Amino acid sequence: MKKLLRVLNGEALDVPPIWLMRQAGRYLPEYRETRTKAGSFLELCYTPELAEEVTLQPIRRFGFDAAILFADILLVPQALGMDLWFVEGEGPRLAWPGDDQNLGALRPVDEIDETLGPIYETVRRLSGSLPDDVTLIGFAGAPWTVATYMAAGRGTPDQGPARRWIYDNPSGFSHLIDILTEATIAYLCRQIEAGAEVVKLFDSWAGALTPEAFRRFSIDPARRIVQAIAARYPSVPVIGFPRAAGVMYEEFARTTGVRGVALDQQVPLDWAREALPGVALQGNLDPMLMVVGGDALKDAAKRIVGAMAGAPHIFNLGHGITPDASPEHVEQLLQAVRN
């Protein structure tokens, strides 16, 4: 069995498997070349041979233990009928059909495959082109995080528009979360059918929620998604990443049914080992160290490996690798972890 799958089945390995969030990205010169060839970020996502290529690039260069599908969390709202585009240097923009937050204007969930078909084709291609010992990870944005972009039409520092929607129109916001939950189930199941061996749920803005709202809009949708996947594909593990959830990580791990929990860099590993038994832990190196490199990077990596010794652990960052990171520092990290 592949190393990542062994850990997600509860096994502690002497050398943890390693991959990095956003490992296919702008810090790699080969990615930048392919991105230029594609012409736009969305063309890169929706062109299977190019999306396959950028997914494979960090595997060829570094020999990671897992590859994660190259796509974007906002493809789901686009498939539901929202206009999506990217502003260079600023990020994504979304617009509702008819320019208002009318949930009735969204497409039915059973029509999203008309847009997302190329993503499934990328997964199929990767399932045949990855080395035999590399695990293929599919992913989706968690409903709450996707909803924050839908509410604001862009990324915001405090997710204020979505939080206000919760208070102004709780039934309407709950309906949006239900739509996104069903769409996410459909999207992830199709990725699994195409060959994904693990799927990951990114709740990047979970830390903006109060404990009560976290239970309702992060934990409950995640539990529904995990249960639906387990009912259809019981051998496929789900990794959850409720970033910046703090002490709510414990309830998330205990109640959602995920087999792995990704930890941000603010989470003390000694606390996590005590508070989150029964799940594999992924993380949680500070991404800034991929910019700094050197002894600071190597010492931190060794501390994490030591802190997680004897527990099921997947080495990763506490968030995605940044464009100003150095490929040479990735090599330093791999040497520190594997040696």
pLDDT digits (tens, 9 = 90+) for 127-168: 999 999 999 999 999 999 999 999 999 999 999 999 999 999
Query: Domain span at residue 34?
Result: 3-338
89 pLDDT exceeds 90?
no
CA 256 – CA 203 distance, rounded (Å): 13
Catalytic residue, from 72, 203, 220, 264: name it.
72
pLDDT of residue 116: 98
| Known catalytic membership, residue 26 | yes
Going from the C-alpha of 82 to that of each of 18, 74, 75, the distances in angstroms are 35, 10, 9
| Known catalytic membership, residue 35 | yes
CA 299 – CA 223 distance, rounded (Å): 36
pLDDT of residue 331: 98
Catalytic residue, from 22, 190, 216, 259: name it.
22
Query: Which whole number is the average pLDDT over 196-206?
Result: 98
98 pLDDT exceeds 90?
no
Give the chain's mean pLDDT.
97
Q: Per the structure block, which two tokens stand in for 6?
A: 């062994």
pLDDT cut 90: percent of the chain above it: 98
CATH number at residue 309: 3.20.20.210
pLDDT of residue 68: 98
**Dihedral, CA of residue 10, residue 15, residue 17 and residue 23, to nearest 10:** 150
pLDDT digits (tens, 9 = 90+) for 58-67: 999 999 999 9
| Known catalytic membership, residue 203 | no
Catalytic residue, from 35, 125, 216, 224: name it.
35
Q: pTM (2 decimals)?
A: 0.97
Q: Per the structure block, which two tokens stand in for 53?
A: 């290529």
pLDDT digits (tens, 9 = 90+) for 223-249: 999 999 999 999 999 999 999 999 999
| Known catalytic membership, residue 110 | no
pLDDT of residue 58: 98
Catalytic residue, from 6, 26, 107, 338: name it.
26
Catalytic residue, from 31, 46, 149, 249: name it.
149
| Known catalytic membership, residue 187 | no
List helix spans (H) across 132-195.
143-152, 160-168, 170-194
| Count of domains observed in the chain | 1
